[in-house]
């Protein structure tokens, strides 16, 4: 306490001496001293302000590379008819030259945001002072009073914070931009950069979002509406607040009238136009599985940044006129099946419905037979619920749709459509290394007798294949066995040509997966995808030439440079003669066999139905000379499809047919072309022999030249 009192007394003495000193000065000396003091304070203030300004200015980014500035651009995905089906983007944005942006759009923005744009040098001192006064009165951070150039500098270089420091940086940047770029260049950058709500940047992307059209097609009322949302895109959005959007549009039109950009008559007409009430459907919601498949192909090649921010244009093979009906028909039929299945009861348990824990799923794919182009791809019922693409990623048993691979192997080994094969009982045993035919077991009695000694032996495995109807047709032509989808006839052929050759045929046709070379391959027990099966059928329909399926025609960067373009990938897998003979037999499946429902399309079709063991999968794959389409249905958890349709003829074929009825309605009716080296002969469809005039049944059959039958049928047949 004493020390503190002493300090105070000392300070008071010093002050007293200072006052005595001042009293001793003349008026002139006193004024001079005051002037020195003010000067020193002013100098200190100037130095402090200069240091602060230097700190602010030194932190301003360089605009040297503004002319090379590339914002995040949306990548657009187009179908084969150049319709936009999707986009990959972080920010939805497209860059256009000023010449492509309507003059009304340019004038609307200038009238509303910066009336003196072409007269000022980057900033508006009056606007800045007005904004500062308003901010001081409302005790808020600096805002408003910005020219288009200031807004551009802020949008590209600065953070969205509202501070005096940022405002100073904004002014300095604007001055630099004005010094280095022309007014049209600045306006072009602004119109391509400005945020316009709903994640879109620039007037091109905004035009597509709000009006579903290219910016070059925008009308005066649309330009005014778009300019009106700039200050607060979410608040003034016509989707969020239609009344405020109308008011903003009217204000823009009035400003344009005041600036003499438009006439009062144009204002009156523009005000009559209704504003949009929902976002444009220009960006199709169709083809989600296809688009994801394209992304998986291109993202590893170009990288995430270039794909999602580089403004690429991806031209694909998809045809929306095929994709949309495929999606709609699949959902229609599977929904109906779900409803029907819920009403079915388990035998013996009448009160317990047979319902899977998951919804019935499906897949549909259409390929161009000649090129392998994917025209439609439906990988499931709802992409939002399940991203799993059942067209490309599913591994399911093909069932009887695999039989054409067996039949091609038979044709390669000298069989022809009139060859008699056996649809008779048979049994196989496993010797520890391979499955072998149980010789002599040609009826159920002999099979039971042969396996009786091994009953209960866990090391002795027996396989007794059968048909869905548990019947045996005995001797039957190769054609008829395919038309009726006879399992035992297929196993008969596999036994004679060897399962290894069947695997080879499948791989050459287009199946990529590893297949088990076992007798049951004739029943389609190996796992395949719908895309592989459609590709294999297309190989047969293309005269034996396999074309690798593809989805991307061309990729172009934002400067118009072609980065990649489709190059055909073709392989001659089978002779055109054998391929035609096989396809001609497959036409019988639609004309007289299990796929007869599809014959209502009244055009040449080749196809094959298929179901798997315990009806866990149903298939139909059909083709014209131009298109191959595969339909699959089943449960993801592999539960049995509760149906009495053992071949798929009344379940999946109608669905396939409805899709293709729409797809093919405008396509010419063409038959599969007949290659050289093919001979036609009229045969008895039951015996496979040449007919006499007195024979009752007859069928015109195709053969590789010199393989046609030589015997005539019994006249009484």
Query: What phi and psi, each to the nearest 5 degrees, are found at residue 527?
Result: -90, 130
The C-alpha atoms of residue 508 and residue 548 are separated, in whole angstroms, by 11
Query: What phi and psi, each to the nearest 5 degrees, are found at residue 193?
Result: -105, -30
**Which residues are paired to 29 by β-bridges?**
none
Q: Are strands 200-201 and 92-93 parallel, antiparallel or unpaired?
A: parallel
The C-alpha atoms of residue 629 and residue 622 are separated, in whole angstroms, by 6
DSSP string, 47-66: HHHHHHHHHHHHTSPP-TTG
Of the listed 113, 170, 327, 708, which one is catalytic?
A: 113
Contact of 224 with 187, CB cutoff 8 Å: no
Distances (CA, A) of 696 to 91, 170, 708, 709, 711: 73, 95, 20, 18, 16
The phi-psi region of residue 399 (left if phi > 0; otherwise alpha if psi is between -120 and 50; otherwise beta) is left
Whether 146 is a known active-site residue: answer: no
Contact of 546 with 570, CB cutoff 8 Å: yes
Whether 68 is a known active-site residue: answer: no
Q: Is 90 helix (H, G, I), strand (E, B) or coil?
A: coil
CA dihedral of residues 364, 365, 366, 370 (deg, nearest 10):
-150
Q: Is 301 helix (H, G, I), strand (E, B) or coil?
A: helix
Of the listed 89, 124, 400, 573, which one is catalytic?
A: 400
Q: Note the helical H segments in 212-349.
A: 220-228, 242-258, 264-272, 288-309, 320-343
End-to-end CA distance of the chain: 137
The C-alpha atoms of residue 452 and residue 473 are separated, in whole angstroms, by 26
Q: Are strands 435-437 and 428-430 parallel, antiparallel or unpaired?
A: antiparallel
Contact of 122 with 150, CB cutoff 8 Å: yes
**Which residues are paired to 633 by β-bridges?**
362, 618
Catalytic residues: 113, 400
């Amino acid at each position: 306490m004493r020390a503190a009192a002493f300090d105070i007394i000392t300070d008071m003495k010093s002050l007293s001496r200072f006052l005595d000193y001042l009293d001793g000065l003349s008026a002139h000396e006193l004024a001079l001293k005051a002037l020195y003091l003010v000067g020193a304070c002013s100098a200190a203030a100037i130095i402090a302000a200069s240091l602060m300004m230097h700190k602010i200015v030194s932190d301003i980014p360089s605009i040297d590379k503004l002319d090379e500035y590339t914002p995040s651009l949306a990548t657009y995905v187009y179908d084969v008819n150049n319709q936009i089906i999707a986009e990959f983007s972080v920010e939805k944005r497209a860059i256009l030259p000023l010449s492509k942006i309507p003059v009304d759009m340019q004038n609307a923005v200038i009238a509303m945001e910066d009336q003196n744009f072409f007269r000022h040098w980057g900033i508006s001192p009056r606007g800045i002072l007005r904004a500062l006064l308003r901010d001081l009165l409302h005790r808020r951070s600096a805002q408003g009073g910005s020219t288009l150039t200031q807004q551009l500098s802020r949008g590209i270089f600065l953070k969205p914070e509202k501070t005096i420091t940022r405002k100073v940086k904004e002014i300095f940047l604007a001055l630099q931009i004005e010094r280095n770029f022309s007014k049209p260049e600045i306006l072009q950058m602004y119109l391509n950069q400005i945020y316009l709500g709903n994640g879109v940047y620039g007037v091109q992307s905004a035009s597509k979002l709000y009006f579903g059209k290219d910016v070059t097609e925008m009308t005066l009322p649309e330009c005014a509406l778009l300019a009106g949302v700039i200050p607060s895109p979410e608040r003034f959005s016509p989707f969020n607040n239609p009344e405020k959007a109308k008011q903003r549009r009217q204000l823009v039109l009035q400003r344009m009238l005041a600036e003499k950009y438009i006439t009062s008559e144009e204002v009156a007409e523009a005000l009559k136009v209704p504003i949009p009430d929902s976002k444009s459907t220009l960006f199709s919601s169709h083809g989600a599985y296809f688009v994801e498949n394209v992304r998986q192909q291109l993202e590893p090649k170009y990288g995430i940044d270039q794909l999602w921010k580089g403004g690429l244009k991806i031209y694909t093979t998809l045809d929306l006129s095929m994709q949309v009906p495929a999606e709609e028909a699949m959902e229609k039929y599977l929904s109906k099946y779900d409803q029907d299945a819920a009403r079915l009861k388990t035998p013996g348990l009448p009160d317990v419905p047979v319902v899977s824990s998951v919804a019935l799923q499906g897949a549909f794919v259409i390929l161009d037979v000649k090129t392998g182009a994917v025209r439609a791809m439906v990988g499931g019922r709802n992409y939002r619920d399940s991203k799993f693409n059942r067209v490309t990623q599913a591994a399911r048993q093909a069932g009887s749709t695999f039989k054409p691979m067996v039949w091609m192997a038979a044709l390669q080994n000298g069989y022809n459509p009139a060859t008699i094969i056996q649809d008779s009982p048979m049994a196989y045993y496993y010797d520890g290394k391979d499955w072998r035919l149980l010789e002599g077991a040609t009826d159920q009695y002999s099979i039971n007798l042969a396996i009786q000694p091994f009953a209960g032996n866990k090391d002795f495995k027996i396989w007794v294949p059968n048909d869905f109807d548990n019947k045996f047709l005995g001797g039957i032509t190769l054609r008829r066995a395919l038309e009726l989808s006879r399992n035992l006839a297929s196993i008969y052929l596999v036994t004679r040509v060897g399962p290894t050759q069947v695997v080879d045929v499948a791989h050459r046709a287009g199946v990529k997966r590893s297949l088990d070379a076992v007798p049951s391959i004739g029943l389609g027990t190996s796992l395949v995808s719908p895309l592989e099966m459609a590709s294999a059928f297309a190989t047969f329909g293309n005269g034996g030439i396999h074309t690798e399926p593809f989805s991307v025609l061309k990729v172009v960067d934002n400067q118009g440079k072609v980065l990649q373009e489709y190059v055909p990938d073709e392989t001659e897998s089978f002779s055109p003669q054998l391929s035609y003979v096989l396809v001609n037999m497959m036409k019988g499946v639609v004309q007289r066999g299990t796929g007869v429902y599809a014959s209502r399309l009244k055009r040449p079709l080749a196809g094959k139905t298929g179901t798997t063991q315990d009806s866990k999968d149903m298939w139909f794959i059909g083709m014209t000379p131009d298109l191959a389409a595969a339909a699959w249905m089943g449960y993801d958890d592999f539960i049995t499809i509760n149906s009495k349709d053992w071949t798929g003829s009344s379940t999946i074929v109608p669905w396939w047919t409805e899709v293709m009825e729409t797809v093919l309605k405008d396509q010419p009716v063409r038959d599969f072309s007949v290659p050289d080296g093919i001979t036609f002969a009229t045969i008895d469809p039951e015996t496979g022999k040449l007919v006499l005039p007195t024979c009752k049944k007859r069928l015109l059959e195709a053969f590789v030249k010199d393989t046609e039958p030589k015997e005539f049928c019994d006249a009484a047949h």
